[in-house]
A and B are shown apart, each in its own frame.
Chain A
Amino acid sequence: MSAPPNGAEPSAADLLAPWKAVDKLDAKDAALFERLMAEDAEIAHRLAAAVEERQATVDLNEALPAASAGARDALFARIEAYEASRTRRSGAGLGRWLADRLTGLSPGALAWSATAAALVIALQAGLLTQAYLGAGDARYETASDGREAAAGQTLLVGFQPSATARDIAALLAETGAEIVGGPKPGGVFVLRIAERPMPKPDLDAAVKRLQERAAVVRFVAPRGGPH
């Protein structure tokens, strides 16, 4: 088989020879190449040319520098700095986590669930009468920015759009919790569930209890720190 004239389509053997040279043909093409070689002795010379090119390419690359220890150390320093920065931003990360979930809710749903919870805050602040909710002995306190920053164990909570102010107030009364902050963007509230920071198992259990109140609570997440 002679070489294709300029402009002619390359032969199958010419197309496959480079991969034959590195033993990277799939089974079908490998069988085809073997058959073509058996039919035309010239193809062995074509393969030899590809092997020669391969060796020159390997030699060229092997003459290039290897990766340096300095570059490796710089990379790992960069990774450590990134991870340290990520840890510091964990609070902001939680915010993004919440934002991602809130994005899936319609503005109307967000508005209503936020309105119901805001009503509870107003009740906590004593702006509405206890009679509005009927009988109840929950002790409400004023929500404020100062209180939000106060010590204690807090959670970030979103309420279901279908939850009424009565539902929310009942939940708070049952759990001994109080809303101390919010609404934040997306209708998120800060809920204080204990006067002191809780051990992780207790905190996880408290989160689980709230999650089980799915008719009222849309999501709940531990707070990553003061925002």
Chain B
Amino acid sequence: MIEISDESLIQRIAAGDRAAMRILHGRHATRTLRFLIRLVRDESQAEDLMSDVYFDVWRQASRFEGRSSVSTWILSIARFKALSALRRRAPRPLEPEIAEAVEDDADTPEVVAQKASKADAMRRCLGRLSLEHREVIDLVYYHERSVEEASEILQIPAATVKTRMFYARKKLAELLAAAGVDRGWP
């Protein structure tokens, strides 16, 4: 059975085809939701934002120009919604950028290193990256966006995407080193 392309689905959605919308939603909703959760760090809010994202997809399908893939377009909408929501809400006391600077007496890096495997430590440290770093890490490693696609979603030049990814990885290595995991890079 030949799978209908995302681009064909968007054309059908633009014509008001609910079935096409259900297929597209089924294909991309979970990844969209996870991207949103990683950005806003609030599952309930991420679910609300995902509804907004796909509602926009329904309303704006006729304006999709095909300059990027549909999945990149959806991630771009999701990022815009997430950043708008984050701007509206007051900073939380333990956002990772702040938490990084606070010593955690109950769970020092050494303790983390002792009680967690390297993979666990890696996941824990990925969760402690700044918004700017975790979005680029997720876009490349989980959503498998190319340099150009990430550039479009993040609205920064391709060269900046590369360097931002480098510094995100560098920060991750520093967090891991602080947790007692030395990977020898960078």
Is B147 located at the chain interface by the 8 A CB criterion? yes
| Complex Cα–Cα for A45 and B18 (A) | 48
Is B77 located at the chain interface by the 8 A CB criterion? no
Given the contacts A65-B37, A71-B50, A79-B21, A57 and B137 also touching, CB distance less than 8 Å: yes
Bits for A150-168, please: 1 = Cβ < 8 Å to B, else 0. 0000000000000000000
Q: Which of these, A4, A72, A78, contacts B55 with CB under 8 Å?
A: A78
| Complex Cα–Cα for A46 and B22 (A) | 41
Is B145 located at the chain interface by the 8 A CB criterion? yes
Cβ B30 vs Cβ A66 within 8 A: yes
Q: Which residues of the partner chain A approach B186 to less than 8 Å between Cβ atoms?
A: 3-4, 10, 14
Within 8 A of A (CB), among B1-46: 16, 18, 21-22, 25-26, 29-30, 32-34, 37-38, 43
Cβ B123 vs Cβ A3 within 8 A: no
B164 smallest CB distance to A (angstroms) = 10
Cβ A57 vs Cβ B142 within 8 A: yes
| Complex Cα–Cα for A78 and B58 (A) | 11
Q: Which residues of the partner chain B approach A182 to less than 8 Å between Cβ atoms?
A: none
Given the contacts A10-B163, A71-B47, A53 and B141 also touching, CB distance less than 8 Å: yes
Cβ A53 vs Cβ B169 within 8 A: yes
| Complex Cα–Cα for A72 and B21 (A) | 11
Flag the segment in A16-24, A114-122, A123-131, A208-216 that touches B. Answer: A16-24
Number of interface residues, chain B, beta carbon within 8 A? 46
Q: Which residues of the partner chain B approach A4 to less than 8 Å between Cβ atoms?
A: 186
| Complex Cα–Cα for A46 and B165 (A) | 14
Report the number of A-B residue pairs with Cβ-Cβ less than 8 Å.
120
Within 8 A of A (CB), among B97-134: 119, 122-123, 126-127
Contact count band on A: 35 or more
Is B67 located at the chain interface by the 8 A CB criterion? no
Q: Which residues of the partner chain A approach B142 to less than 8 Å between Cβ atoms?
A: 57-58, 60-61
* Partner-A contacts on B (CB < 8 A): 16, 18, 21-22, 25-26, 29-30, 32-34, 37-38, 43, 47, 50-51, 54-55, 58-59, 119, 122-123, 126-127, 137-138, 140-142, 144-148, 162-163, 165-166, 169, 172, 183-186
Shortest beta-carbon contacts, A-B, top 7: A67-B29, A57-B141, A56-B122, A54-B141, A15-B162, A66-B30, A64-B34
24 CB contacts below 8 A, A to B, read A3-B185, A15-B163, A16-B162, A24-B144, A29-B147, A45-B185, A49-B183, A54-B141, A56-B119, A56-B122, A56-B123, A57-B126, A57-B138, A61-B138, A65-B33, A65-B37, A67-B25, A67-B29, A71-B29, A71-B33, A71-B51, A75-B25, A79-B58, A82-B55
